[in-house]
């Protein structure tokens, strides 16, 4: 693709010929997509052709040297900015966290950052650009720009739950191949006209793949909004064009099912970001009268495998991926990866290529000659009657086996903290008893429902200082 001129605007945009696509390039949209809807804002369909027009118009307004940090929540606004970055040949930087500290960290890592947003964020005003795209200026020409396969397309970040978040750059082919694995795994070729409703932000690896890349590369569209509260999810699903699918997380799924809100029958439910229990998956299949699929992946790779949780404990890897075990670690390779990528989880490979997951390396706790997993401890804590929500974490700076100590946090209903301590002490080995075990009004969670550690660690510090 030609380099952008000094205004940041491409000198030329090549239009894909669906009969002959150069091997070195992949079109933005799937071949033959026509003029189907890309995004729905309420009852208004924003077509694919509008995306290219809005992206080109946006490019005329930004400096050529700017590194774009795409903070947009509205999925059409997000896709416009994402497409604009593809057209100018630079990756979109996708923040893993909307807090000021995380955004400032990105600004330090990427000089010349321009934070593009459609809602208030805690970024310096000097590097902030507010946008809102209407999709109203769609030209009659159905442009389908071709993007170089090896072009850096997105910078994502590891979760940062165990330290500083690290950037991971994926090429355009990497993202397209990931979308192909979703399409094949979910049979989206047979669901022409599907509408996706999602509680997951597009900046997350799962959200990027399932709610941005799929509308570009499959015969599906997506709702622009990201509903959070159960009633909002119910309203979005009830009003969406059918067939409709829900893309969500176990945390959100549990909240939705607990609400007893009305829901239509769904084409499928797709869950990721944390393990989904078979019981919760079965409850969701009954409530939504559908199948529930689960994606296992990580920021370093994207989709690694899929499964239908109610039927199997094993995962089927993506079509272009090869998994192997090397020196006790799981490694995944693919033709579009720059190098083999180690996974954060242990795996057990079967002869047919499927695999089972073991514990994450940072999930194993060793204390006084004993070992267990944090996930198991948290499950035991949350199973105590009266515990609405809870977690257990390793205290910072105490990772040596002889010094490791745990801290726990619970949200309670109708129980006292002393009762919970007593029941937990009776259920786990003494060395793994969290000290302190504190009652909180709610657990701090990010947009995908993952626990945000910093406020909890600060709470431990205040507790220790006061004692």
Task: Report the first-to-last Cα separation within the chain, whole angstroms.
Answer: 63
Is the pTM higher than 0.75? The answer reads yes
Flag whether pLDDT at 15 surpasses 70: no
Choose between 247 and 36: higher pLDDT: 247
Q: Which residues 6+ apart lie within 8 Å of 314 measured at CB?
A: 307, 350, 354, 355, 356
- What is the pLDDT averaged over residues 247-252? 93
Evaluate whether 250 touches 450 at the Cβ level (below 8 Å).
Answer: no
Q: Are 92 and 85 in contact (CB under 8 A)?
A: yes
- Cα distances from 297 to residues 174, 276, 303, 309, 336, in angstroms, run 14, 13, 4, 15, 16
27-67 pLDDT tens trace: 999 887 767 899 999 999 998 888 999 999 999 999 988 99
Answer yes or no: are the C-beta atoms of 179 and 28 closer than 8 Å: no
Please name every residue paired with 347 in a beta bridge, in sequence order, or none if there are none.
357
3-class state of residue 254 by DSSP: helix
Label residue 467 by pLDDT band (50, 70, 90).
very low
Average pLDDT over residues 449-463: 77
Please choose, from the candidates 122, 120, 88, 119, the residue with its C-alpha nearest in 3D space to the C-alpha of residue 106: 122
Q: What percent of the chain has pLDDT over 90?
A: 52
Q: Distance of alpha carbon 370 from its chain centroid, rounded?
A: 34
Name the band, by pLDDT with cuts 50, 70 and 90, for residue 231.
Answer: very high
Structural domains in the chain, sorted by start: 25-359 (3.40.50.12780), 368-466 (3.30.300.30)
pLDDT number for residue 260: 84
Asked if residues 342 and 330 have their Cβ atoms less than 8 Å apart, the reply is: yes
pLDDT band at 16 (very low <50, low <70, confident <90, very high): very low
- What tens digit of pLDDT does each residue of 349-391 get? 888 889 998 766 566 676 755 667 787 788 889 889 999 888 9
For residue 360, the surrounding DSSP H or E stretch is strand 355-360
Q: What is the DSSP letter of 451?
A: B
pLDDT tens-digit map of 185-230? 888 878 889 999 999 999 999 999 999 999 999 999 999 999 989 9
């Amino acid at each position: 693709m030609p380099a952008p001129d000094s205004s940041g605007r491409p000198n030329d945009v090549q239009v894909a010929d669906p009969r002959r696509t150069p091997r070195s390039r992949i079109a933005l949209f799937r071949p033959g997509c026509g003029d189907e809807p890309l995004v729905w804002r309420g009852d208004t369909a924003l077509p694919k052709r509008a995306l290219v027009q809005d992206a080109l118009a946006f490019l005329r307004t930004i400096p050529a040297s700017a590194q774009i940090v795409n903070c947009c929540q509205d999925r059409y606004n997000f896709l416009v900015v994402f497409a604009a970055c593809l057209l100018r040949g630079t990756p979109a930087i996708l923040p893993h966290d909307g807090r000021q500290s995380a955004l400032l960290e990105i600004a330090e890592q990427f000089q010349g950052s321009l934070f593009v947003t459609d809602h208030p964020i805690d970024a310096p005003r000097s590097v902030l650009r507010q946008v809102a795209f209407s999709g109203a200026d769609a030209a009659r020409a159905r442009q389908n720009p071709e993007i170089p396969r090896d072009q850096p397309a997105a910078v994502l970040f590891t979760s940062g739950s165990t330290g500083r978040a690290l950037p991971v750059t994926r090429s355009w082919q990497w993202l397209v191949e990931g979308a192909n694995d979703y399409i094949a795994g979910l049979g989206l070729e047979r669901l022409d006209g599907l509408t996706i409703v999602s509680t997951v932000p597009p900046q997350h690896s799962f959200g990027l793949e399932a709610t941005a890349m799929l509308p570009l590369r499959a015969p599906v569209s997506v709702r622009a909004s990201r509903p959070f509260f159960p009633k909002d999810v119910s309203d979005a699903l009830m009003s969406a064009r059918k067939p409709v699918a829900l893309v969500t997380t176990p945390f959100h799924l549990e909240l939705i099912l607990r609400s007893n809100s009305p829901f239509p029958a769904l084409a499928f439910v797709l869950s990721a970001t944390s393990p989904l229990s078979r019981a919760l998956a079965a409850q969701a299949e009954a409530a939504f009268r559908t199948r529930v699929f689960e994606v296992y992946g990580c920021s370093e790779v994207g989709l690694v495998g899929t499964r239908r949780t109610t039927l199997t404990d094993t995962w089927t890897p993506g079509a272009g991926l090869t998994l192997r075990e090397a020196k006790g670690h799981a490694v995944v390779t693919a033709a579009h990866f720059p190098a083999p990528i180690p996974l954060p989880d242990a795996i057990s490979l079967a002869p047919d290529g499927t695999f089972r997951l073991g514990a994450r390396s940072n999930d194993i706790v060793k204390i006084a000659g004993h070992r267990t997993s944090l996930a198991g401890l948290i499950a035991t804590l949350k199973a105590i009657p009266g515990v609405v929500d809870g977690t257990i974490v390793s205290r910072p700076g105490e990772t040596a086996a002889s010094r490791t100590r745990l801290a726990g946090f619970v949200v309670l209903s109708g129980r006292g903290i002393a009762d919970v301590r007593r029941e937990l002490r009776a259920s786990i080995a003494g060395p793994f008893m969290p000290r302190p075990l504190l009652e909180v009004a709610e657990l701090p969670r990010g947009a995908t429902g993952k626990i945000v550690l910093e406020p909890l660690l600060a709470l431990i510090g205040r507790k220790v200082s006061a004692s």
